[in-house]
């Protein structure tokens, strides 16, 4: 299997299945919850870790039909679904402190998911320190940071986060970042949660030091949303659609005889060197980032602060 870029565990599993690769140590469970389709991938062995290219752990994908959901019952159900899945991955004690990290570059829209999520969180650690009598029951200490990117700050993200965790001693860290996907259908309609941490920039081939339990000393939950897709992957999808429509064409018949990996390799080699690594994002990515950041942020808010309502969140963050 060629290294088609994707950060989604469910897509890696789909590619291996399509290639008829024998998989052991990987279980997949799917269900429908509210208006979302849930896929749970569990990697349980070192062999599976090597095949999947992802650490042993749990990967949950929440797929929803319409990113334009911004309010109403469907929107609230989606937020609750994210909260429920996050709570299952991260069991916390009543007074545990949680640090939320929003990775990415605020100045580049497809990479601005993390900072946008942080701006919509109920940050309460300082309130519980200074005015605890005025804070309601069920509110836990939550703090947040958007560390920026190496090219702007001159500091590795891992260095910044390690310094913060060493100082404030959170009981858990939640990291939010933009991801890359293999399928165009999953751009802007998918949220992945996992308990294995994250390697910032991995989706676009810009690997930095991993943020996980080993590096930070506490459980690290990663939440990501695919915002970009490799140009060669889009071309491959287009090629497959064309071969299905033009079945009488000799050229299309020859292309149809090739599997997806062979088509991807052909297109990758045909792309000029200047376009290698070229990533594509939807034209309305600014609107999508704003809306999906709200879903992720409120999923985190509902998971961390018990018994709060959407009205409580709106009152706090407005």
Contact 48, 55 (CB under 8 A): no
Separation between Cα atoms, residue 10 and residue 62, nearest integer Å? 10
Q: 150 and 264 in contact (C-beta within 8 Å)? A: no
Please tell me the total number of residues recorded for the chain in this structure.
318
Of the given ranges (35-49, 50-64, 113-127, 230-244), which has the lowest mean pLDDT?
230-244
Q: Which of 74-88, 124-138, 155-169, 199-213 has the lowest mean pLDDT?
A: 199-213
Q: Which residues contact 315 (CB under 8 A, 6 or more apart)?
A: none
Residue 221 lies in a domain: yes
Mean pLDDT to the nearest integer, 214-226: 96
Strands 98-102 and 142-145: parallel
Higher pLDDT, residue 144 or 266 = 144
Please tell me the pTM assigned to this model: 0.89
Work out the average pLDDT over 98-117. Answer: 96
1: in domain: no
In Å, how far from its chain's centre is CA 187?
A: 11
User: Does residue 183 form part of some domain?
Assistant: yes
Q: What is the mean pLDDT of residues 207-217?
A: 85
Q: Which domain holds residue 44?
A: 9-317
Domain count for the chain, please give it: 1
Q: Would you state the pLDDT for residue 267?
A: 67
Residue 2 falls inside a structural domain: no
Q: Which residues pair with 58 in a beta bridge?
A: 42
Does the structure show a pLDDT above 50 at 237? yes
Local confidence band at 207 (pLDDT 50, 70, 90 cut-offs): low
Cα atoms in the 13 Å half-sphere on the side-chain side of 257: 5
Query: Does residue 256 sit within a domain?
Result: yes
Q: Is residue 15 part of a domain?
A: yes
Reported as a pLDDT band with limits 50, 70 and 90, residue 296 is: very high
> What pLDDT does 239 receive?
73
Residue 178 lies in a domain: yes
| CATH number assigned to the domain comprising residue 101 | 3.40.50.1450
d(CA 152, CA 191): 27
- Mean pLDDT along residues 10-15: 92
> Where residue 4 falls among pLDDT bands split at 50, 70, 90?
confident
Query: How does the average pLDDT of the chain come out, rounded?
Result: 87
The three-state secondary structure class of 257 is: coil
* Domain assignment of residue 293, yes or no: yes
pLDDT value at residue 254: 67
Task: Output the pLDDT for position 203.
Answer: 47
Average pLDDT estimate for 253-278: 67
Are 10 and 63 spatial neighbours (Cβ–Cβ below 8 Å)?
no
pLDDT in tens, 60-102: 999 998 766 667 888 999 999 999 999 999 999 988 999 999 9
Whether residue 181 contacts residue 8, with contact meaning beta carbons closer than 8 Å, is answered with yes
Helix (H, G, I), strand (E, B) or coil at 138: coil
Cα gap 85→171, rounded to integer Å: 19
């Amino acid at each position: 299997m060629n290294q088609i870029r994707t950060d989604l565990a469910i897509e890696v599993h789909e590619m291996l299945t399509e290639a008829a690769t024998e998989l052991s140590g990987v279980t997949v469970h799917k269900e429908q919850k509210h208006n979302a389709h849930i896929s749970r991938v569990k990697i349980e062995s070192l062999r599976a870790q090597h095949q999947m290219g992802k650490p042993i752990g749990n990967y949950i994908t929440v797929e929803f039909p319409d990113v334009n959901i911004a309010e109403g019952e469907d929107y609230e159900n989606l937020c609750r679904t994210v909260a429920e899945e996050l709570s299952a991955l991260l069991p916390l004690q009543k007074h545990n402190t949680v640090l939320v990290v929003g990775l990415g570059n605020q100045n580049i829209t497809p990479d601005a998911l993390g900072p946008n999520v942080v701006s919509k969180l109920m940050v309460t650690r300082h309130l519980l320190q200074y005015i605890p009598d005025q804070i309601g029951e069920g509110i836990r200490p939550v703090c947040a940071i958007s560390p920026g990117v190496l090219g702007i700050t001159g500091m590795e993200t891992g260095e910044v986060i390690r310094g913060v965790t060493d100082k404030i001693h959170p009981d858990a860290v939640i990291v939010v970042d933009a991801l890359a996907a293999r399928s165009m259908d999953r751009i802007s309609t998918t949220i992945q949660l996992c308990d294995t941490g994250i390697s910032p920039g991995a989706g676009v081939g810009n690997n930095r030091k991993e943020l996980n339990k080993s590096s930070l000393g506490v459980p690290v939950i990663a939440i990501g949303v695919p915002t970009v897709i490799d140009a060669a992957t889009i071309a491959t999808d287009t090629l497959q659609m064309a071969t299905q429509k033009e079945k009488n064409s000799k050229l299309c018949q020859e292309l149809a005889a090739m599997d997806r990996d062979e088509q991807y390799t052909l297109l990758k080699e045909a792309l000029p060197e200047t376009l290698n690594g070229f990533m594509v994002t939807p034209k309305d990515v600014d609107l999508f980032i704003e809306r999906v950041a709200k879903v992720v942020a409120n999923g985190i808010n509902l998971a961390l602060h018990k018994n709060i309502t959407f009205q409580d969140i709106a009152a706090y963050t407005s």
